[in-house]
Structure 1
Amino acid sequence: MYLFYDLETSGLEPCWDVPLQAAFLQADANLSAQREVTLRCRLPAHVVPSPDALIVTGVTPVMLENQPLSHLEMMAQIARIIADCKPAMLIGFNTIRFDDEVLRQSFYQTLLPPYAASMTGHGRADVLSMLRAVVMLEPDAVAIPRDDAGKPVLRLGDVCRANGISLSEDDAHDALADVRATLDLFALLLERAPSTMATMLGHAKKSGPLALLEPGEPVILGGTLRLTPVLPMIGSPTNPGARICIDLGQDPSGFIDLPALDLLARIRSSSSPVRQVKVNAQPILFGWDQAAHALVEAEPDSVYRERARALWAHPTFTRQLVLALEGQYADREPSAWPDAQLYSGGFVSDADAAACRRWHEIAWEHRASFAAQHIADPRLRSLAIRQVFLNAPETLSPEAWNRGQDWFRNRLMTEDEVPWLTLPRALARCRELATTADPDQLIALDRISTWFIGRRDSLGPNGETVAMPTCAIVS
């Protein structure tokens, strides 16, 4: 079973933006559509949407407020759709790099299982990654448009139109239209490049790439536009789901004798010889015989084999590599905000997962006290209280309500350097966009700016909210 999906979001930052629309298309093994679902939600009141995203997607302020579902309710429905289709292969276009991460972060922030789409028997595949693999290995299989500089253009709409698949400019950025076009493009790739696609589909679960990444033999790793010969060497010391490879296109004599600190500096440079391969993210990865013919400006195979032998034979390189990578993120400070602590705070415990399930089941008036008493993880406890404030503020104690008001005003209006978009920064961006906008965009920007100003003016001078925005009220 296949489950194709697409999200339209409030912006491009998964920790700070949210899905506004989600579309799902369930298909059988023959790619015949069995069911389609489209969901839209109101914008959570603490999120300021990117003006750029609103212009691109055509979403208006009215659409942000007048939807039947809250963000919390839509995420719960998405979780049920994914669970009901298990096991399935989840497929989208640029989903592994973006949509999957948006889902994971929104699940986490709404107290749903963060890894519902990746740790429950589903495969994960990305038509953009598969398209890149086909373009690099079988460039004549599908028509690829090019820009003025001659570089391939791999946007969904452009590729679809170049290959006779219907997806107009007006339909682009509508989630269901994108999902249908993604299915059609996937079917075309299966027909035109069956061997390449079979290998890539084998990588939709981590067992596929793991089989190729057994240390010892060189393999071919794909990036966005180029294939690279690499040697799999060690598991990542900082990511259990990744393997570390060395770029055989570089002469190892330039780094093989470096001590760990100098090697780390080289790894952090623009000429890093290290490639990290995430085995659960459908890497573009091929055995030597399948892809070596597509290497650009390739050395003789004997050169790559000799470099591989030198790396394995060196008495200290592997150890220094491990030491360098162990310290790669030692100076990285964890985020101070729970929104961005999904990966820094560890996996959710079984007890907290059960408490979160129960939190979703009980009445709103009991959720704040339940979270305080039964959710041990401080990240989740904070997010649970936030959801009560956003969805049912009348159920909070006066003290909790006042704390929520302080947080809410700061979230929207702070002048500090913060990683999320605030109302002052969004208004400044509207003014910046207006300097180059066409007439239709100017009309849209005026409506967006007016809406931002209304949200700003709804905040009282001392932190009170004159009226909670419509998008924060439970219907």
Structure 2
Amino acid sequence: MNIVFYDFETTGRKKWFDQIIEVGAILVDGNLNEKDRIQLRCRIKPGVVPSAAALLINKTSVSSLLKESRSHYQMIEELRSKFLEWSPAIFVGWNSIKFDEDLLRQALFQNLRPPYLTNTHGNQRADIFPVAHAMSVFSPNSLVVPRKDDGKPSFKLDDIAPANGITDFEAHSAIGDVKATIEMAKLCREKAPTVWERARIAMDLNKIKETVQKEKFFCFFTFFFNKPQVYAGAYTGQNKRNEKEIALFDLKYDPEELFDSSVENLKKETTGTRRKIRTISINKFPILMEGKYAENNNKEYRDIGVAVLEERAQKVRENQNFHEKVGEALALQLEERIEEGAQKPKYLEERLYDGFASKRDEYLEDQFHEAKWDEKLGICSDIEDDRLRRYGKRMIFYESRDSLPPKVRKEVEEDIWMRARGIAEGDESKKPDELQSQFSKSMKELDDERESAFKENDQDKLDRLEEIDQFYIDLQKQYENLS
């Protein structure tokens, strides 16, 4: 099966509001040897307020943001075409599950394309960042984890790769980070084969379901304030409303104390630092090790002993009524989160996961892409999903604004302005100066970076910050003219 390593450079870390500005991806074979690659850059979209720190880190100038030959739409279309050409494949990154994936889905959705490219078309996902975490916990001699000035471990790619002898890459360029990620994957495969094999299981939903339900109990981990927290858990059901969220009973506790609990009380046991029921999302690449690793890495389980852990696990696994109640408790908890989220004002960009497009809207999306620019508005107006309808109008505005009637063009500009100034849907009655706008946040960040540059007497950095400062001023004036 093909394997695709990829990375994005972005305008910032706000995955709902920032955008991809550089793409790097390398297709490799099963032995991690390169077969093909793609490297793309694009212009910034109107309404995006870039982070000064991000532009400094990825060495992106304002002039390149404004003058790149490709638009964001054109770049994402090229990337989508290449990813589909390489499919089916395993798509791999560094912290990609929690960051790059959302940015990719957001970009596809905003361009009126199906967002779940990397886990449809026979594709699977993996992430070397949690693999490195697992190596540090379960195979510590296989990985050098550098320390920051405060003594805390650093898993940043530009720190951990050189610490392990990987230096032939340009950090914070998309293709450079891809090369480093491939080398980190090779390191794991060679030096921590047990972790690598468990990571391979985590790529496949069917295999991980089988593992969870077949093994007596297993070991899983989280990182909390840069410290690993290792647990021994036994399968105890799945969310009734989301089959990809499964429950694991923490075997440091006696399960019989909960077997007769009500659904409402079980719901309480799924929250808090000492919760007895923990959950994992099997579609987010959880690395589950054999149960023996919990005893090796956590004194509480070692003191309990493997015989008692196995006995507790057996009781949990056999109690189907308990599984049912736990599944209902998780479903109830999910319903409460959905209801709470529905009551909060949201920006359009935060509504990616508010539902799937209908078959009719998917058909209209295809028609939209096939039509000429002056024909797209009519198709866009027929789309039922208001998210897609608004994104369609924005896309016409970005790519061919003269194709929009003046009234519609004004509406789209104001739509972008509301988001850029920090006004969420449901808060339209509030004045912009009553909210902490993205502009003011960005200006504060710029001032902090400027103060640092003065202390370091870094004239090059000061010059770049001056360019960014002027860009912020010009951008703010542009939208203030609409008010």
Q: What's the counterpart of residue 407 of structure 1?
A: 415
Counterparts in 2 of 1:332 and 1:418: CA distance versus 1, 3 Å: farther
Among candidates 274, 281, 286, match of residue 289 of structure 2: 286
**Worse-matched range after superposition: 43-52 or 326-335:** 326-335
The one-letter code sitting in structure 2 at the alignment partner of 1:351 is R
How far off its partner does 1:309 sit?
4.5
Measure the CA separation in 1 of the matches of 2:435 and 2:33. Answer: 46
Q: What's the counterpart of residue 354 of structure 1?
A: 363
State the secondary structure of the residue aligned to 2:213. coil
Measure the CA separation in 1 of the matches of 2:434 and 2:251. Answer: 41
Q: What's the counterpart of residue 174 of structure 1?
A: 173
- Number of residue pairs matched by the alignment: 457
Measure the CA separation in 1 of the matches of 2:252 and 2:398. Answer: 53
**Worse-matched range after superposition: 332-341 or 400-409:** 332-341
State the secondary structure of the residue aligned to 2:233. strand
Q: What's the counterpart of residue 337 of structure 1?
A: 347
Measure the CA separation in 2 of the matches of 1:227 and 1:262. Answer: 25
Q: What's the counterpart of residue 228 of structure 1?
A: 231
Measure the CA separation in 2 of the matches of 1:195 and 1:260. Answer: 38
- Are the equivalent residues in 2 in contact too, given 1:236–1:276 (CA < 8 A)? no
1:301 aligns to 2:306 (yes or no): yes
The one-letter code sitting in structure 1 at the alignment partner of 2:127 is D
1:324 aligns to 2:344 (yes or no): no
Measure the CA separation in 2 of the matches of 1:92 and 1:115. Answer: 16
Measure the CA separation in 2 of the matches of 1:462 and 1:189. Answer: 54
The one-letter code sitting in structure 1 at the alignment partner of 2:28 is A
The one-letter code sitting in structure 1 at the alignment partner of 2:179 is R
Q: What's the counterpart of residue 219 of structure 1?
A: 218
Q: TM-score, normalised by structure 1?
A: 0.88
The one-letter code sitting in structure 1 at the alignment partner of 2:445 is R
How far off its partner does 1:462 sit?
4.6
Among candidates 363, 376, 389, match of residue 372 of structure 2: 363
State the secondary structure of the residue aligned to 2:243. coil
Q: Which structure's residues are more often helix, by fraction?
A: 2
State the secondary structure of the residue aligned to 1:458. helix
Counterparts in 2 of 1:306 and 1:22: CA distance versus 1, 3 Å: same
How far off its partner does 1:182 sit?
1.0
Measure the CA separation in 2 of the matches of 1:323 and 1:28. Answer: 43
After superposition, the C-alpha distances for 1:207-246 in whole angstroms (9 at most, x for unaligned) are 2211111177211113233431111111123423221212
Measure the CA separation in 1 of the matches of 2:438 and 2:390. Answer: 20
Q: What's the counterpart of residue 68 of structure 1?
A: 69
Measure the CA separation in 1 of the matches of 2:151 and 2:477. Answer: 49
1:445 aligns to 2:465 (yes or no): yes
How far off its partner does 1:354 sit?
2.3
1:83 aligns to 2:84 (yes or no): yes
Counterparts in 2 of 1:203 and 1:417: CA distance versus 1, 3 Å: farther
How far off its partner does 1:79 sit?
0.9
**Worse-matched range after superposition: 186-195 or 211-220:** 211-220
Q: What's the counterpart of residue 473 of structure 1?
A: none
**Worse-matched range after superposition: 297-306 or 249-258:** 249-258
Measure the CA separation in 2 of the matches of 1:340 and 1:256. Answer: 39
User: Aligned-pair RMSD on alpha carbons?
Assistant: 2.5
Q: What's the counterpart of residue 118 of structure 1?
A: 119
Among candidates 240, 243, 261, match of residue 243 of structure 2: 240
Among candidates 394, 397, 413, match of residue 402 of structure 2: 394
- Are the equivalent residues in 2 in contact too, given 1:28–1:34 (CA < 8 A)? yes
- Are the equivalent residues in 2 in contact too, given 1:9–1:17 (CA < 8 A)? yes
Measure the CA separation in 1 of the matches of 2:275 and 2:388. Answer: 37
Alignment of 1:258-277 (within 5 A): 258-277=261-280
The one-letter code sitting in structure 2 at the alignment partner of 1:377 is D
Measure the CA separation in 2 of the matches of 1:388 and 1:327. Answer: 41
Measure the CA separation in 2 of the matches of 1:416 and 1:78. Answer: 39
Measure the CA separation in 1 of the matches of 2:452 and 2:202. Answer: 43
Measure the CA separation in 1 of the matches of 2:290 and 2:79. Answer: 37
Measure the CA separation in 2 of the matches of 1:401 and 1:61. Answer: 25
- Are the equivalent residues in 2 in contact too, given 1:94–1:128 (CA < 8 A)? yes
User: Structure 1: where are the runs of 5+ without partners?
Assistant: 464-475
After superposition, the C-alpha distances for 1:443-474 in whole angstroms (9 at most, x for unaligned) are 333221111001112345453xxxxxxxxxxx
State the secondary structure of the residue aligned to 2:341. coil
- Are the equivalent residues in 1 in contact too, given 2:242–2:331 (CA < 8 A)? no
- Are the equivalent residues in 1 in contact too, given 2:49–2:438 (CA < 8 A)? yes
Measure the CA separation in 2 of the matches of 1:62 and 1:255. Answer: 62
The one-letter code sitting in structure 1 at the alignment partner of 2:377 is A
How far off its partner does 1:313 sit?
6.9
State the secondary structure of the residue aligned to 2:280. strand
Alignment of 1:137-148 (within 5 A): 137-147=138-148
The one-letter code sitting in structure 2 at the alignment partner of 1:307 is R
Measure the CA separation in 1 of the matches of 2:332 and 2:448. Answer: 41
- Are the equivalent residues in 2 in contact too, given 1:26–1:34 (CA < 8 A)? yes
The one-letter code sitting in structure 1 at the alignment partner of 2:457 is P
Counterparts in 2 of 1:294 and 1:39: CA distance versus 1, 3 Å: farther
How far off its partner does 1:343 sit?
1.6
- Are the equivalent residues in 2 in contact too, given 1:213–1:243 (CA < 8 A)? no
How far off its partner does 1:425 sit?
2.7
